[in-house]
Structure 1
Amino acid sequence: MRGTQGALIIASTIQIILGFSGLWRNVVRLLSPLSAVPLVSLVGFGLYELGFPGVAKCVEIGLPELILLVAFSQYLPQVLHFGKPIVSRFGVLFTISIVWLYAYILTISGAYKNSPPKTQVHCRVDRSGLISGAPWIRVPYPFQWGAPTFDAGEAFAMMMTSFIVLVESTGTFIAASRYASATMIPPSIISRGIGWQGISILLDSFFGTANGTSVSVENVGLLALTNVGSRRVVQISAGFMIFFAILGKFGALFASIPLPIFAGMYCIFFAYVGACGLSFLQFCNLNSFRTKFIMGFAFFMGISVPQYFNEYTAVAGYGPVHTGARWFNDMINVPFSSKPFVAGLVAYFLDNTIKTYDSTVRKDRGYHWWDKFRSFKKDARSEEFYSLPFNLNKFFPSV
């Protein structure tokens, strides 16, 4: 744990420097709708392992969640004459409550009493004694596991992982803005968001969370499902998360929800994010062979290359790059096991090197649609985006 904390401290500097220095802004400025399609699409579709395979681990719980969520979000709003916004916006809460209660009934009735241990882990709501073992109140504090230790190999591997997260988070930012009915995020704002994400990773390392911070892909899918893009919702949700983190019993109660329920929701959430990436094709010329090649090649390599790396690792126990330096192995094997990273890298490189300066190609790739959001000197969005919560703008007129 102390070694992980030290590696996260070093890795956080990657996103902090690239974000707040504006270097990542220069990279995002060259991103076009065409190169964004594989990146954003595989941010969602690339997580298919967390979808139905997770549902199938306890199909009697996961499948009802999937079916009920589709019914609540897509069908009930069409047939109801009242309460449509409530059903569509709170469908996730309703379905989780129903299926969670159903899973609890199955657990206390002894349905899994003689089931294999693996089935009980995925289906029971009282697995591993989460609620009984959690304290009522526990306030986390910095370096609670001791002073962090630093190792060059672990730091290099974690830095590369941080860079992959940076790329995937950029695609998720774009999807979130799309579903929030906002215009394309200016590169400077994306760069600033990456910088603050680095600050979050630094805080993770201080408090010993054992993992870093990334954009929540499922929350973007939830945004699309509920059509709620208000920042107030995010602020209130953050308050709830802080509250449940301190009161251990309440946090353990929600942690007892069987994972197949989440897998059922992921089938819809990740599908929304992947479809968002495909929606950027409307800005591109799909009759262009250049467009077809870049898009098809990026998608194929984004799926094929990680599949090779993952299969090789599963069989051999180590990645295709296997030298005496573990940090070097991780720096090569980890990024090429990420579907969005590979697809985004291939599309970005090809889109910015094949006939880039041709005026016809510029329109084919959809670059002209995002031109007005690429200025270094101003922000083309409305002032409403910068409104502070609780009417605090009167105290900060420059914001």
Structure 2
Amino acid sequence: MAEVKPEEMVHHPPMDQLQGFEYCIDSNPSWGEAIGLGFQHYILSLGTAVMIPTMLVPLMGGNDHDKAKVVQTLLFVTGIKTLLQTLFGTRLPTVIGGSYAYLVPVLSIIHDRSLAQIADGHTRFLQTMRATQGALIVSSSIQIILGYSQLWAICSRFFSPLGMVPVVSLVGLGLFERGFPVVASCVEIGLPMLIIFVVLSQYLKHVHVRHVPILERFSLLVCIALLWVYAHILTASGAYHHTALHTQISCRTDRSNLISSALWISIPYPLQWGAPTFNADHAFGMMAAVMVSLIESTGAFKAAARLASATPPPAYVLSRGIGWQGIGTLLDGLFGTATGSTVSVENVGLLGSTRIGSRRVIQISAGFMIFFSILGKFGALFASIPFTIFAAIYCVMFGIIGNGGGAILSAVHQHELYAQPLHCWFFTLSWLIDTRVLFSVYDRCSKWPGAHEGWMVQ
């Protein structure tokens, strides 16, 4: 076979190249700019890393010190999982963080009678955490087997562009309950954050400083700094002394006691809460969340590839990424993060907002996660940012992801659109969103008949 001459070698650019991208996966900005962008991704990941432990640890019976330690552990493991995924998994610029899909099975473990009857709060927290760890360790085997056996690659071959549109769109649109409803809980902070962020990132993005579009790339940091100072002034002036507890949790910068409870230096390690306990009921409940996270991550990987201006990931790459995500869930179980792994949707949206798809930026952000999780006081300082500020950011980021799903239609041949009308995927998308909202509302209101009567089991 004749050798290919160098002049005959043709470089194939990324398919469906997006406009305005200066740095793709393998092209890197300067070190100073990359560090700033990486820190921005780290700040954005704090929303999920703080919100999940804040919701779960008090229900487990833990105190503020336990909550601070779980936050540090989740950030530490998130950094490790992100490095593994960007180095050996899909190698896409994605942050692998905690997942809200695991809240329901974890709450089921918390309300287990054998655990709920423990009188001492700290003992109940340790026993509940160990039960959660055991369920995560067992359920991680699903993603590991599906990923490394390439079974998920076989399934992925049937994911046509038209079929992936509702999946990718649901990844963004299905999470809006973490956006506008949380903004409404503290309008005096959330609404200004939303308006300023939209104006800076969308309408003033062409403002350059020394030929660098500073507002397009760093508008998130600028807005968070401004509104964080504003929220701290409101807190220090006593504006929330006589407000409801829910308002104080959403608005105050000192509501979580993370700074006072965190240690100066603390290195998370496996089995730090004790030996995991294993229960079949807990494991099967967690497996359902693993399947939800698996589908959600597949859609997020597709969206990340598009927003990073990369070629669509092949089936075997997606399967390999799911396998490494299973390793991440296993690490969650070993370290005790109280939740499993998924692709951080908000960080994927930030790729589209900054138009920087560099893999190095995400790896630098993983370094920040590990560093500040070890230096607990400094990490807790950044974690004191009110949830409402993150919720305002989510409103924009989730919209970018949802738009990315609809934009996949540009890769669909016009004849296929006529053969399979658009109402097919509109129906699928609306059905998925309605189903998600249905279970969310009925679970929140405790009116779902199967929750108490056991009719599903019968």
Shorter-chain TM-score tier: 0.7 to 0.9
Match status 1:294 vs 2:424? yes
Q: Which residue of 2 aligns with 1:355?
A: none
Per mean C-alpha deviation after superposition, the further-off stretch among 136-145 and 69-78 is 69-78
Matches within 5 A, 1:1-399: 1-78=129-206, 84-284=212-412, 285=414, 288=418, 290-318=420-448, 320=450
Is contact 2:139-2:290 (8 Å) kept?
Answer: yes
Kindly provide the amino acid, as one letter, of the partner of residue 264 in structure 1: A
Deviation at 1:224, TM superposition (A): 0.6
Per mean C-alpha deviation after superposition, the further-off stretch among 94-103 and 107-116 is 107-116
Deviation at 1:303, TM superposition (A): 2.1
Distance 1:275 1:128 in 2: 34
Kindly provide the amino acid, as one letter, of the partner of residue 311 in structure 2: T
Could you say if the C-alpha distance between residues 287 and 6 of structure 1 is closer, same or farther in structure 2, counting changes exceeding 3 Å? closer
RMSD over aligned Cα atoms: 2.0
Distance 1:307 1:134 in 2: 36
Distance 1:60 1:323 in 2: 42
Could you say if the C-alpha distance between residues 274 and 320 of structure 1 is closer, same or farther in structure 2, counting changes exceeding 3 Å? farther
Q: What secondary structure, in the 3-state scheme, does the structure 2 residue paired with 1:128 have? A: coil
Deviation at 1:5, TM superposition (A): 0.4
Deviation at 1:318, TM superposition (A): 4.5
Deviation at 1:297, TM superposition (A): 2.1
Kindly provide the amino acid, as one letter, of the partner of residue 199 in structure 2: A
Per mean C-alpha deviation after superposition, the further-off stretch among 252-261 and 84-93 is 84-93
Distance 2:176 2:228 in 1: 23
Distance 1:287 1:324 in 2: 44
Deviation at 1:14, TM superposition (A): 0.5
Q: Deviations over 1:296-341 (max 9, x none)?
A: 2202211222333334334445564777599x69xxxxxxxxxxxx
Kindly provide the amino acid, as one letter, of the partner of residue 226 in structure 2: I
Deviation at 1:121, TM superposition (A): 1.4
Q: What secondary structure, in the 3-state scheme, does the structure 1 residue paired with 2:270 have? A: coil
Distance 1:85 1:125 in 2: 30
Gaps of 5+ in 2: 1-128
State the aligned residue count. 328
Q: Which residue of 1 aligns with 2:90?
A: none
Distance 1:308 1:119 in 2: 26
Is contact 1:309-1:319 (8 Å) kept?
Answer: no
Per mean C-alpha deviation after superposition, the further-off stretch among 111-120 and 162-171 is 111-120
Is contact 2:168-2:404 (8 Å) kept?
Answer: yes
Deviation at 1:241, TM superposition (A): 0.1
Could you say if the C-alpha distance between residues 143 and 253 of structure 1 is closer, same or farther in structure 2, counting changes exceeding 3 Å? same
Distance 1:189 1:322 in 2: 42
Is contact 1:144-1:207 (8 Å) kept?
Answer: yes
Distance 1:225 1:273 in 2: 10
Per mean C-alpha deviation after superposition, the further-off stretch among 29-38 and 304-313 is 304-313
State, as a whole percentage, how many aligned pairs show the same letter: 55
Kindly provide the amino acid, as one letter, of the partner of residue 307 in structure 1: V
Distance 1:8 1:191 in 2: 20
Distance 2:441 2:224 in 1: 35
Is contact 2:207-2:213 (8 Å) kept?
Answer: no
Q: What secondary structure, in the 3-state scheme, does the structure 2 residue paired with 1:147 have? A: coil
Kindly provide the amino acid, as one letter, of the partner of residue 192 in structure 2: P
Gaps of 5+ in 1: 330-399
Could you say if the C-alpha distance between residues 315 and 50 of structure 1 is closer, same or farther in structure 2, counting changes exceeding 3 Å? closer
The 4+ residue runs of structure 1 with deviation greater than 6 A are: none
Distance 1:278 1:182 in 2: 17
Deviation at 1:119, TM superposition (A): 1.3
Kindly provide the amino acid, as one letter, of the partner of residue 298 in structure 1: T
Deviation at 1:27, TM superposition (A): 0.5
Distance 1:251 1:235 in 2: 18
Distance 1:319 1:196 in 2: 38
Kindly provide the amino acid, as one letter, of the partner of residue 145 in structure 2: I
Deviation at 1:70, TM superposition (A): 1.1
Per mean C-alpha deviation after superposition, the further-off stretch among 273-282 and 80-89 is 80-89
Give the alignment's TM-score, normalised by structure 1. Answer: 0.78
Kindly provide the amino acid, as one letter, of the partner of residue 280 in structure 1: I
Per mean C-alpha deviation after superposition, the further-off stretch among 109-118 and 313-322 is 313-322
Is contact 2:182-2:388 (8 Å) kept?
Answer: yes
Q: What secondary structure, in the 3-state scheme, does the structure 2 residue paired with 1:307 have? A: helix
Could you say if the C-alpha distance between residues 135 and 325 of structure 1 is closer, same or farther in structure 2, counting changes exceeding 3 Å? farther
Q: What secondary structure, in the 3-state scheme, does the structure 2 residue paired with 1:78 have? A: coil
Give the alignment's TM-score, normalised by structure 2. Answer: 0.68
Kindly provide the amino acid, as one letter, of the partner of residue 227 in structure 1: R
Distance 1:78 1:321 in 2: 52
Q: What secondary structure, in the 3-state scheme, does the structure 2 residue paired with 1:214 have? A: strand
Deviation at 1:130, TM superposition (A): 1.6
